[in-house]
Every structure is written in C-alpha cells, then in structure tokens.
Amino acid sequence: MDKPQSTMAEVARIEEAAERLIKNVNTVIVGKQDAIEFVLVALLCEGHLLLEDVPGIGKTMLARATAMSLGCIFKRIQCTADLLPSDVTGIHYFNQKTSQFEFRPGPIMANIVLVDEINRATPRTQSCLLECMQEQQVTVDLETINLPRPFLLLATQNPIEMEGTFPLPEAQLDRFFLKIKLGYPSSEEEGAILFRFQDENKLHSLKDVMKAAELLDLQKIIRHILVADPVRSYIVAIIRATREHPDIRLGASPRASLGLQAASQALAAIRGRNYVIPDDVKHLAVPALAHRIIAKSEIRLRGKSVEDIVKDILATVPVPVE
C-alpha cells in the first residue's frame, strides 16, 4: 500500500514557516545559514544536535535565538565534573507545608535545552541524557515523567581543550541527529557582527515567530515527504559503504540511515519540495553520519578526518539519475 504524500500546500506551510524562523534567527546570528537550517531540520525531525566548536563562535546564542523564535521554554545546563544526574532530571523532596513528597523538575524539563560542554560531565551524568534523547522522558525514583514537546537537546563541546573531559561514548554520539560546526565568520561577516551589536544585544529584542503547536503540526507533515525507491537505495548504499570502507573501523548504524532519510525529508520541505532528491542526501550526509563513524587510528596520522572519508564515499557511490 502506497504511503500518503504531503501536498504542495502543506509543504508551502513548512517553507513559509522556515523562512520566518530563519529570518528571525538571522537578526542575531550572522552568516550561518546552513547551521540555522540544520537546527530547523533537527526540530522538524524531533532530533538532537551536537555543536562542536571553539568558544565564542555563537553556539549559545544560536540555541537561545531558536528558543525565543519559537516562544519555547529555554534552559541551560553548564556541565562540570561534579554535576549529578539529579541536577539534570530533578528530585522528589518532602514539602513540610503539605507533608507530601513533591517533584521539583530539573532543567531538562524544557523545550530547548542547551547542554554546554557536555564532555565535561561524568559518564554517569552523560548517561542520564540517553533516556531523554531517545524516549523523551526521564525516570526519577522509579517514576517516569514525559518531557515537554517539542523537545530539542542542543549540546556543545570544545574540540581543542581535552583536559578534564570525558569523551562521549559511541552510544551517546549515535543518538545525536546531527553534528555541526559553526566555524569562524568571514571578514565581512565579522564586520557585520561588530556593526549590528554596537548599540545593543539584538537577542534581547527578539520576538517569537512560530508557536510550539505549529511546529508540532509541521512535524507530522515531514513524515509524508516522498522518498522514491532510487533515493532510498542511494541512502542505503551510502550507509553500507561506511561499513565496508577500508579506513573505517565501525560504520553507521540503522539509526543513522533512518536519521539521514528523515533529515532529507525535512530539508526537501524547507526548500519547497514534497519529494527528496539526491542533493538533499548529499548535503546532510556529513552532519548526519560523520559523528556516528569510528575511523581506524592510523587515519589521523595521515591527516585525514572522518568528514573526509564521508566525502570520499559520496564521491564514489553512484547517484541515481531517474
């Protein structure tokens, strides 16, 4: 039985909403169109983002601007070695006024949560995020509590400073929908940043342009963007190539193939189409797959990164032409 396909009218709603949100975030984030688009892709697919970059690039501002553009609840968790799971999820405490135990929610109970320097938290604290990311719930004292929707966990880590950090395990990396880097701005962009923020921080005057309920409605449309058989076979070929590549020790998982397909559907809708094309897949392959792949140790000695390997795979896997 054929699956229902999203109509062009439904896609037009997504395209218009995406333009609204991207334009709004662009008032405080200069020249990072791809990064903002990736955040929107993750939101539409109910995925989570890992931002790996040096301090001061705008990772926190991107998260806050996105939350404010959606009128959502935003919380920030600053990870340190002494951060406990209960500091994230919340605790039950005894209320002397009511003589009852009550739940005090932690910062994870928000729509958009920035987990800053996630690799500074201990493995025990990192592991408490697994249930949040996969099942969108937390378990506290045997009680399961659903997280609010929409829910986006946006984690950051500094790729340079490794002292006092705990590298994320493969199981946790695999739960991140996309991993992106903002990078330094160009000279023109940096000049625009200085001019724009000379008088005031534009973030303080940012207004919401989309409600959470609208986003939840758009998420349903994404699932019905057409993925034709040749495009689906192309995704499978890319995933299988990561498992057979001579420079890779551990290839991408089935969760990665599901993520790449969903991300491609969201990107197609953002760009005004109710069907996925191979260019959507190619554009998302590196942020969707690179962090889920483990390269052989000798690859780094040759000055090659996992991102380079994914690009090599994209250059060798035949692109469907139908």
User: Residue 215's Cα: distance from chain center in Å?
Assistant: 15
Neighbours of 285 (CB within 10 A): 25
Rounded CA separation 138/128 (Å): 8
Alpha-helix residue ranges (DSSP H) falling in 90-211: 123-135, 170-173, 187-196
- Closest by CA position to 128, among listed 93, 94, 175, 92: 175
Start-end ranges of CATH 3.40.50.300 in the chain?
A: 1-14+24-224
Centroid of chain to Cα 212: 17
Q: Candidates 3.40.50.970, 3.40.1160.10, 1.10.8.80, 3.80.30.20; correct CATH number of 226-322?
A: 1.10.8.80
pLDDT at 101: 83
Three-state DSSP class for residue 227: coil
Res 1: pLDDT: 46
Do β-strands 49-52 and 248-250 pair in parallel, antiparallel, or remain unpaired? unpaired
The residues of the chain that CATH labels 1.10.8.80 are 226-322
Q: Tell me the pTM.
A: 0.88
Q: Which CATH architecture has domain 1-14+24-224?
A: 3-Layer(aba) Sandwich (3.40)
- Report helix, strand or coil for 173: helix
Report d(CA 107, CA 84) in Å as an integer. 12
Instruction: Report in angstroms the alpha-carbon separations of 291 from 21, 24, 38, 65.
Output: 27, 29, 15, 25
Number of H helices, E strands in the chain: 13, 11
Cα separation, 275 vs 231, in Å, equals 10
| Whole-number pLDDT of residue 2 | 59
Q: What is the pLDDT of residues 134-181, one digit of tens each?
A: 888 888 887 888 998 889 899 988 877 667 788 888 888 888 999 998
Low pLDDT (below 70) residues in the chain: 1-3, 161-162, 322
